Amino acid sequence: METSSPTDTTHLQALHESAEQACRLMKVLSNRDRLMILCQLSQGELRVGEIEAQLGIVQPTLSQQLTVLRDEALVSTRREGKNIYYQLSSPQAMTVIGVLYAQFCPQPENPA
């Protein structure tokens, strides 16, 4: 009978933790509004009003989804006067969003 070594157990535990983190990220991304917000923020920092105007997400829903993104540490904020700016702060989310953006977001055509 084969027994697992401490190294195998440690590796398996790390694999489980990584899978859990990936599942949490995918769960957050599975909401259309949150995905659109992160796609916009992947292009640069935006004020709340800019996010609302660009995506057409009304304020109560936008606030709720931004709270989820903050709670999951995917976005961070900074205040300048009365404005709150949001930026994508998770390298993992940025990478996933980059792939999704390249695959699904329309790219402007270059005139020949």
- What are the boundaries of each domain within the chain? 20-101
pLDDT tens-digit series, residues 38-79: 999 999 999 999 999 999 999 999 999 999 999 999 999 999
Listed in sequence order, the DSSP H helices in the chain are 6-29, 32-41, 48-55, 59-71, 91-104
pLDDT at 2: 57
Report the pLDDT averaged over residues 88-106. Answer: 91
Q: What is the mean pLDDT of residues 6-22?
A: 90
Q: Mutual orientation of helices 32-41 and 6-29 as an angle, nearest 10°?
A: 100
pTM of the complete model: 0.82
The answer to whether the Cα torsion of 68, 14, 16, 29 is positive or negative is positive
Residue 101 is encoded by which pair of tokens?
């953006």
Over 80: is that where the pLDDT of 31 sits?
A: yes
Domain boundaries 20-101, CATH class: mainly alpha
